[in-house]
Structure formats: C-alpha cells, structure tokens
Structure 1
Amino acid sequence: MTDTAASERVLAYHRRTKHQFDRYAAGPPGLDWNTQPDPFRRYEGAPVVEFPLLGDAPEPAYAELYVPGTVPPRPLGLASLAALFELAFGLSAWKRFGEDKWALRCNPSSGNLHPTEAYAVTAGCPGLDDGVHHYVSRDHLLERRCGFAAGTATLPPGLLLVGLSSVHWREAWKYGERAYRYCQHDVGHAIAALRYAAAVLGWRVHLLDAWGDADLAALLGLARDADYDDAEREHPDVLLQVDTGTANPQADSDALLAAAAAGRWLGRANALSGKHEWDWPVIEETAAACTKPRTAGSAETVEPRPALAPTACTLGAVELIRQRRSAQAFDGSTAISAADFFRLLDATLPRPDVTPWDAVDWAPRLHLLLFVHRVEGLPPGLYALPRRTEAEALLRAALSAEYAWERVAEAPAHLPLFRLLTADARKAVRTLSCHQDIASHGAFTLGMLAEFADELAQAPWRYRRLFWEAGMIGQMLYLEAEAAGLRGTGIGCFFDDPVHELLGIQGETLQSLYHFTVGGARVDARLQTLPPYGHLADRPSGPA
C-alpha cells in the first residue's frame, strides 16, 4: 500500500469514527459482560521474577520533577526497575462496590480498560537475566518472554528499553470502531507516565522514533504466531530508552534484533475473552495503514522559554502519582486560582530537559481551545493557547474571523493565552461533549486541536503520534490538577464536526482529538478504596 493510499484509509477511518449530533460512531448496542476482556495479560509458562514493592522511603517532592538535575539518579537494579514500573504502569488502588471489584492504575486509560502492555528489554541489569520481559501490573512481576544468550546483546551500562503495545480489543469491546483512537491516547498517557516515574528516580526517557513497527514486533515477540493461538494480538506501538544517568549512546538496534531472533522464547498469551460478540475490522485495517517503517527519527528544535513557575504543591511525587484519579463528577462550584491555571497551561509548553516533553523530539502539533467557567480573575468564555509560536497564525486563519484574539494581560508574558470570546460557555461545551455534565461543571474544559491535514500528508503513521501527544498532555493535566488540589478527567466522547463548526474550522487543517476537564471532584462515598497491593502483603518492600 502506498503512503497516499494509506493516508486516505486513515482519513476515511477518522471521518467514519466521528460522533455527530444525529449519530454516534459504530459500536456495540450494549456491553456484553460475558465477554468483558481480562484486564491483565499473562504469558503462561514464562519464568517470573517478582518485583519488590516500593516502600515508604524518602521521595522527591512533586515540584522537583520539573527542575533538571534536582533529583540524583538511583543506580539501576531490580528495586529501582521495580519502582519505575510500579509508578508508571502499576496499580494505584482497588475499588469495590458490593460484590464488584476493579483495579486502578498509575497510567490513565479510556474507560479504565487498559489496552497498553509494557515490556522491559534489559542487558546487564543487576538481579535480572538479559532478555525481554513482560510486566504484569496485578502481581507486580516480570515474565521473561525471551532469554538472550550470553554475550549476544549489549546495552550501554545503566541503559534499559521499555516497549509499549496495544490490545485493541480491550477498547473495542466497549467503544467499537472509535477504540483505535483511544488506544493511541493511552499510549500517550503511558509515555508521559513512564517519563514522570523515571523523573522520580532521577532518570531520563527518550522515545526511539526511528524504530519501525516490524522491528519492534520482532524485539517484543509480538510477531510470534505460535505464542498467541486464539489469544488477542498486541500491536507494536513504541520503544523508549531509559537512561539511568550513566549512559548517553543509544542501543544497537541490529544487535538487539539479532539477540531476540536467536534467543529462547517462553510463554503463551492468555485469551482475554472467551469470544468476541462484535468485531470491528476497520480497526485492524487502520492499524495496518498506520504501520510505521524505519525512519531517520525526529530532531526538531524546542523553542526556548523561561523556567516553569514553581508549583505551590508540597506533596511528594510518589504520593501525587498514586493519588491520581479520573473524576467521575464535579461539584459545579469549585474554581481554580489564576496562578494555578497559568501554571497548568505553562506546563503544557515544551522546554528542553523538562518533564515530560523532553521524552520526544518533535515540536508541538496540538493546541488548546479552552472553555473557561470558573477561573479566578478571568471572565468566562472561550480562550486559545497555541503551543508553538508559529501556530498562532495557523489558528487565527483557521478559526472564525469574528473572534477577538485579545492577549490575556494577567498571564505571564511568555504564555500565549488569547481570549477569543467572553461568554457563558457551559451549555455549549456540555452539548459538544456528548451532553456530559462533567464538561460544564468543572472550572474549565479544553479541546486539543491538532495540525491534522499536514501531519497526515507527511506520513500516515503520524496519525498515531498526534494522539500520543494528546495523551501526554492529558497525563500532565491529570497530575497538575491533583497538584492544584483539584481533579481532572479525559473526555473521549465529543461531537467532532460540531466542535469544528462552533470554531469556524473548515476542512481538515485542524481537528479536535481529545477533550479534558478540571474541577472540584464529587467523590462517590459508596465506593470502597483498597490498597493496590494488599493481596501481596508478604512481598518485600523497600527503597528503590
């Protein structure tokens, strides 16, 4: 398939999966609880290494994660690797209501369905055999999928790789054809979650975007047909390099692939559902169209900005990461201070060497459209934040000519926040967000407008990358909302083209990919909260 044909297929998928006022994207008529996917993948027969749990050792403050060089790097070992995976992909709590019980995790997920699987690729890590290991969050352990023969794979000292994949069925079971979008959001959530977890340990993360999907599938064992049988397949998404402070060079991709090809593979994937009542072929067709080949990788320049204003949050980083939740309802009255609002928006702007944006090498392609309801000192209305300087002209040209584009004088001078319209936008954003009260009851709601047509014209696989960027923004907003004493939640259900029509956007130069809202959460007292690893009470714990 040519890039042109693949881009046309991706564009057709995007159009097909838009929600409209008169119809929703194709999905199941109801939830078939008998086929609900198992949220935990296991590779039966693979040797396991149990991780120690992260104890109550001293931790850096959340504020320190944004100041380069503040947190001294921990040495790489089993305990520190365990802490990385626990804080990035591990459980944060269990919830119980009556006889029902379900897990929450540190990395957010659409519908708490968690399509993302995580892998560690190690060579020379103390306490762990060289090879490819699958992480099981429920039991906080690694399954060794592939053992490298001695001397066949090398990584620079202090370096490890983390691979991410998606089980599309987990999202499709509930959301039907739109699920592919949500899987890509969740990859972005996971990238940012890994970057924050690494920052707690004083480590750095870098996305290896030169890798192709076929190479990643070979490295992680996802192309091994015999290991899946009737089990749902995983789609390769991304490979990330974690530098623990002693390595600078990147891993030798050819050597790693050779080691994986010659290694000893163990384990067979469990089936997540006994059957699929509904299947959505367009998801796998679109995934095929979005297949990424090997590329030269990105090397775009991040524009300089003043240091991020310090947060008033005094919580420890581990405490804040663990307490992150997706709000289910807002109180409709809580406001956010202007200082916290500006800080939160400023944190979405990439800076060199600052979490989480130093994990990627591309300049922002998503920009924020804000429905302000209750921000102290700001009138309610519609606001815009271009996240790249030259994107201001693009937004001005694409949005309605009737908007005022008044610079918000109260904002820091370097924060390009513009007031488009002063109005009560609560009813409008509620309607646009699939009639959900949560969009109008918070302090503000935002949409993420992507530079869509240009990215898709360059390469069809960039469609995925736009959603990754949206997910990274989402995870950052989740943590910043908690730091401000509030709560956030992503909104994947919105009426796509009506959003564009409200803004005056014509064609597909810009497209809204993800909505998010922040406010004062209403907590359901009927739900019981249980510790994440109470079922592993005998597991040792201690400092990373």
Structure 2
Amino acid sequence: MIKKTETILNYHNRTKHSLERYAKGPESIDWDDQPDQFRHFSGCEIVTLPKSGTELEALFADLDNPETIPSKPVNLANVGLLLELAFGLSAWKQFGPSRWALRCNPSSGNLHPTEAYLISTGNAFINSGVYHYVSHDHSLEQRCRLAGDLPDAGLLIGLSSIHWREAWKYGERAFRYCQHDIGHALGALRYAAATLGWSVELQAEWSDDDIANLLGLNRNDDFIALEQETPDLICRINTHTDSMPLDIEALLESAQSGDWFGKADSLRAYHLYKWPIIDEVAIATSKPPTVEPEWQGIRKHTIKSFGNQKATAIIRQRRSAQQFDGKMSPLPQTDFYRMLAAVLPASAAFDHWRWPSKIHLFIFVHRVDGLEPGLYALPRDRDALEKLQAATLVDFDWQKVTEAIPLYHLYYGDFRLTAKNLSCHQPIASDSAFSLGMVAEFNETIETKPWLYRRLFWECGLIGQVFYLEAEAAGIRGTGIGCYFDDNVHELLGFKDEQFQSLYHFTVGKPLEDKRIETLPAYGHLSCMAE
C-alpha cells in the first residue's frame, strides 16, 4: 500500500507545471501524425443505429427533477440516442483544408481517450452481447456474443481509456487528463439518460480486472502494443422497466465463455515518445473489488433553473470556448449562483455519485453583477469548511455571501492577471466572468485507498461537465483548463503541504467566435455516404 501511495505521489509531483518548467511532454509534435480519434475493431458484426439528431421534449430545467420526466421505451432508437447524447458527435469544424469533429463529451485537446461500450443482457431489441460504440459512424461493433441465457438485467455502459492517445500531445501529465475525461463522460451519460427519463447507477463495487474481463480489454492479442485500453468504470442504466438484479458473477462467466470477435485497428500515429510513468501510476491506482455505499438516487437543486431550451439542444450545442470577450457585461448574479448550486453534491446532477465530496472550489470572480471582484470559496462538503479555513491564509476573512449556497468571500481585489498567470498565462482565465480551481482533499484520500486518486479527477471532470452545460443554458460558455501552475496555486491559497491539491481549473464567460471556422452537421458525412 505504501509503495502504491509513493508511486502516486511521485507521479503527481513530477507532473506538476511550474513557472520554472512544464511537466515532461513531447519535444515536438507532428500535427499530421495525430492518433486516430475513432477506434474501430475489424472483424465485428456492425449494428447501425437509427438516425441521430432526435430532439426530446424535456427542457434543460426539467433535469432538476428527473423523476418527473416520462421514461422512454427501451428500444434501439432510444439506446442509440443515449449513446449519441453522451458520447456522439455534436458537430464538425472546418478551417481551410483542416476538418475535425466535436463530441458531446469534452476532451483535453479534443483527443478523446475515452471509449464507450454497451452491454446488453436479455433485451429484445438487440442480441445479448458486448458492443463497442463508434461515435464517427453512430454504430455498434459486436465484440462478444455472451454465452447462455442471461436474464434481462437492463443495460450496462462501460468506459475505458487509451492513455497513449492523450500522451501523444501532453506527455506524462496525460494520465490526469484521461481521468478528467472519464468524469466528463460520466456526467455526459447522466444528462443523456435523464433526457430519456432514465437514470444512471454507477457500479462502484467492480474491480478493474472484472471490468477488463467484461469489456475484453485483457485480450492482449486484440490490441496493438502501446494502444491498449485501461478499464475505468461500469454503469447500469435504470430504464424504470422490470429487469432482474444484476448478477455480476454470472455476467462475467458468460463473457468469459462467450464468442469474441474483432481486433483493434491501428491508431496510425507513430509512437515516437514513450511514457512509462503513466503505466506505473495506472498500475498503482488499479482498483480492487470493494464494498461501496448504497446508491442514493434522486436529489434536489437548491436554486431553480429558468432555462427554457430543450435539454437535447443544450447538450448538442456544448462547446469549449477558445477565447472570451474581456469587456463582457457582468454575469447576472442569479446565473452565477445557479451554476454554483448545480455543482453542489445535493443537486440532481450528482444523483449517481455515491461518495462524500472531496473537491472544493476556489473562485476568481471578475465580472459578476452585485459581487465585488475577488477570491471566493465554495466548500462542497460541510465538514470540509474548518479544514479549508485552517489550511489557507490567515488574511482570508471567510465571510458567507448568501444563505442559498455555501459561498464564502475570502479577499477583495482584481485577480484577473493572477488568474491568467496561474493558468499558464492563458487569457481565458482572466477575460471570463469567473474562473476557478478545483481543490481536492488529497493526502488522506489516497493514503487509505490509492485507487481513489483517479476518482478525485473523475469528480473534477463531473463538476466541469455540469459547468459546461449550465453555462450553455445561461447563454454563455465554459472551458476546462488542464494547464496551470500547481504549487503556485497552492502558495496563493496558503497550502503548505499535500493535505489539499489543485486538480483542475475551469472558466466561464462570453465566447468570441472565430468567423473563419465553418460549422458542419454532426452526422452530415453519413448522409453523403448513403447518397
């Protein structure tokens, strides 16, 4: 256990950016030699999903009370819609000869290391099996025909990561970003399910080995060296129909005895750089089987959403802002409070998160109506307040701003230049309405269970996904910031040890659109192929 913790701490400290140096990454990047964003398995039966783009009736505000949204039938069209809204394409962008895809689930550098799988047992609309979702084609590749007659245990979604796909650009820090992306994907899945009147139950007890067995990730001959997938999580989709309890042992035995098909195609890019430390930390954070808290289900928002747009429209229009209008009008205070309320653990957006909050926010307020510019804090767990107060600078006043949410003022002042410099000198952190750092309860968390290191980043990514969609609903835009100077952030806040660590930054503001870039339909290429 101590060795695993030491490996994680070594990785974490080694991959910090600082004003003196950046974390180790590739010395050069050949943009014409990027890894393929879309994994394919040759030799699989293909299930073409019904046409994408269906709009549903539920408004974004309705997702505050998902139990009131009528449950859609479990059929191929609706399951395809679930996959599209969670992991599918949202648009294509084109600038000159360059063309690239955007997805509903965001990714650092748009590299998309996350792969999604559908597992069906006893459903009438599709054969029992394990299927890989191909977002480019909006189709399923059947990787496994499960053995035996399994009872209908509903639908399962599995997520995995191709670490090398992210490391191609970001080097050693890529493991962090892959975990962020899993959190984003988990959030995207939750919102997609809610639009259909379904819910997500995270199967937290599963070990990584069991996930690998079910998804076929341990079939080494099916993958090219250095391009393997690492198991991350399994979710059950509760469609509110009569389905049997999930028998994990029977499902794993069925997969082990089943017929497997296909081999992963090459991701094509040349493996010029190797990052063995990523493999080391992946092994150190591998999760064993565990006993976890009971699933809590429905929760409530403390501040109501007034958004009247359809939820499917908000999900599909989500983008990562590239630059902000530094002269924007102040963000209405009601919108700011709503966004913060939406990332609290009591909100419906976290109805599938089964653990106490370990991530807290330190917010640079630049342009919010009725709030003085300065530094603020949002402890996301009541028990963390005293620990945060004791660990931060004595100059912070910790005055509560409003009774609606646990927002505390710390220090008045113009922090725009500070926010920019801390976020690797990026103007997106200063030209926005507000930017923030997500700070984790770190040491105690990973000392007891090293694999919780990944979960801290997942929680950050889940918070980021909520901010993304809430910003769209408010008529503005957000973007995640993975590049920041870790220990300089800690110094600003007063942290003197590893009790707390900053794991992710985020910023929200009025986007400036680049008119030179053309936006094309998400699945227009499929229509062209059909013609």
Normalising TM by the smaller chain, what interval? over 0.9
State the one-letter code of the partner of 1:529.
T
SS in 1 for 2:348: coil
Q: 1:23 to 1:529 in 2, by over 3 A?
A: same
Contact persistence 1:106–1:324 (CA under 8 A) = yes
Aligned partner of 1:18 in structure 2 is 16
Q: How far 1:314 sits from its partner (Å)?
A: 1.1
| Match among 143, 152, 174 for residue 155 of structure 1 | 152
Which aligned pairs between 1:27-66 and structure 2 lie closer than 5 A?
27-66=25-64
Q: How far 1:390 sits from its partner (Å)?
A: 0.8
Aligned partner of 1:454 in structure 2 is 444
Contact persistence 1:299–1:361 (CA under 8 A) = yes
Aligned partner of 1:527 in structure 2 is 517
Contact persistence 2:121–2:155 (CA under 8 A) = yes
Q: How far 1:77 sits from its partner (Å)?
A: 1.0
Aligned partner of 2:289 in structure 1 is 294
Q: How far 1:535 sits from its partner (Å)?
A: 1.2
Contact persistence 1:231–1:269 (CA under 8 A) = no
| Match among 344, 348, 357 for residue 349 of structure 1 | 344
Please, which moves more after superposition, 436-445 or 229-238?
229-238
Contact persistence 1:78–1:126 (CA under 8 A) = no
SS in 1 for 2:178: helix
| Match among 467, 470, 473 for residue 480 of structure 1 | 470
SS in 2 for 1:393: helix
1:2-48: CA deviation from partner (whole Å, max 9, x where unpaired): x2111110011000000011000000112123431000000001101
Q: How far 1:401 sits from its partner (Å)?
A: 1.1
| Match among 414, 420, 436 for residue 430 of structure 1 | 420
Q: 1:420 to 1:166 in 2, by over 3 A?
A: same
| Match among 327, 341, 344 for residue 333 of structure 1 | 327
Q: With structure 2 as the length reference, what TM-score do the two structures score?
A: 0.97
Aligned partner of 1:310 in structure 2 is 304
Contact persistence 1:372–1:381 (CA under 8 A) = yes
1:468 aligns with 2:465: no
Q: How far 1:405 sits from its partner (Å)?
A: 0.7
Q: How far 1:306 sits from its partner (Å)?
A: 6.6
Distance in 1 (CA, whole Å) between partners of 2:137 and 2:497 is 48
1:126-153: CA deviation from partner (whole Å, max 9, x where unpaired): 32110100000000000000001341x3
Q: 1:290 to 1:58 in 2, by over 3 A?
A: closer
State the one-letter code of the partner of 2:302.
L
1:119 aligns with 2:120: no
Q: Which runs of 5+ in 2 are unaligned?
A: none
Contact persistence 1:196–1:355 (CA under 8 A) = no
Aligned partner of 2:499 in structure 1 is 509
| Match among 364, 373, 387 for residue 380 of structure 2 | 387
Contact persistence 2:56–2:312 (CA under 8 A) = no
Contact persistence 1:477–1:488 (CA under 8 A) = yes
Equivalent pairs, count:
529
Contact persistence 1:433–1:494 (CA under 8 A) = yes
1:402 aligns with 2:373: no
Distance in 1 (CA, whole Å) between partners of 2:300 and 2:71 is 25
Which aligned pairs between 1:353-368 and structure 2 lie closer than 5 A?
355-368=348-361
1:51-101: CA deviation from partner (whole Å, max 9, x where unpaired): 012344542111101113221011111011000000000000000000110
SS in 2 for 1:19: coil
Q: 1:122 to 1:375 in 2, by over 3 A?
A: same
Q: How far 1:537 sits from its partner (Å)?
A: 1.7
SS in 2 for 1:205: strand
State the one-letter code of the partner of 1:138.
H
Distance in 1 (CA, whole Å) between partners of 2:137 and 2:300 is 43
1:169 aligns with 2:164: yes
Distance in 2 (CA, whole Å) between partners of 1:250 and 1:374 is 50
1:323 aligns with 2:313: no
How much is the aligned-residue C-alpha RMSD, in angstroms? 1.7
SS in 2 for 1:161: strand
Q: How far 1:237 sits from its partner (Å)?
A: 0.4
Contact persistence 2:152–2:244 (CA under 8 A) = no
Distance in 1 (CA, whole Å) between partners of 2:414 and 2:299 is 32
Contact persistence 2:187–2:465 (CA under 8 A) = yes
Distance in 2 (CA, whole Å) between partners of 1:496 and 1:242 is 37
1:278-331: CA deviation from partner (whole Å, max 9, x where unpaired): 1111001100000001011234989x9874322221110010000000000001
Distance in 2 (CA, whole Å) between partners of 1:55 and 1:503 is 45
Contact persistence 1:301–1:362 (CA under 8 A) = no
State the one-letter code of the partner of 2:369.
E
Q: Which runs of 5+ in 1 are unaligned?
A: none
1:244-301: CA deviation from partner (whole Å, max 9, x where unpaired): 0125764111011000001000000011134201111100110000000101123498
| Match among 95, 108, 111 for residue 110 of structure 1 | 108
Distance in 2 (CA, whole Å) between partners of 1:306 and 1:531 is 35
Contact persistence 2:17–2:23 (CA under 8 A) = yes
SS in 2 for 1:239: strand
Contact persistence 1:231–1:271 (CA under 8 A) = no
Distance in 1 (CA, whole Å) between partners of 2:523 and 2:111 is 19
Contact persistence 2:301–2:348 (CA under 8 A) = no
Aligned partner of 2:177 in structure 1 is 182
Distance in 1 (CA, whole Å) between partners of 2:250 and 2:344 is 36
Aligned partner of 1:377 in structure 2 is 370
SS in 1 for 2:498: coil
SS in 2 for 1:356: helix
Distance in 2 (CA, whole Å) between partners of 1:108 and 1:486 is 16
Q: How far 1:483 sits from its partner (Å)?
A: 0.6
Distance in 1 (CA, whole Å) between partners of 2:155 and 2:400 is 45
Distance in 2 (CA, whole Å) between partners of 1:39 and 1:305 is 35
Distance in 2 (CA, whole Å) between partners of 1:298 and 1:5 is 27
Distance in 2 (CA, whole Å) between partners of 1:538 and 1:97 is 20
Contact persistence 2:374–2:413 (CA under 8 A) = yes
State the one-letter code of the partner of 1:121.
I
Distance in 1 (CA, whole Å) between partners of 2:82 and 2:259 is 26
Q: 1:457 to 1:300 in 2, by over 3 A?
A: farther
State the one-letter code of the partner of 2:386.
A
Contact persistence 1:218–1:260 (CA under 8 A) = yes
Q: 1:30 to 1:201 in 2, by over 3 A?
A: same
Distance in 2 (CA, whole Å) between partners of 1:183 and 1:499 is 22
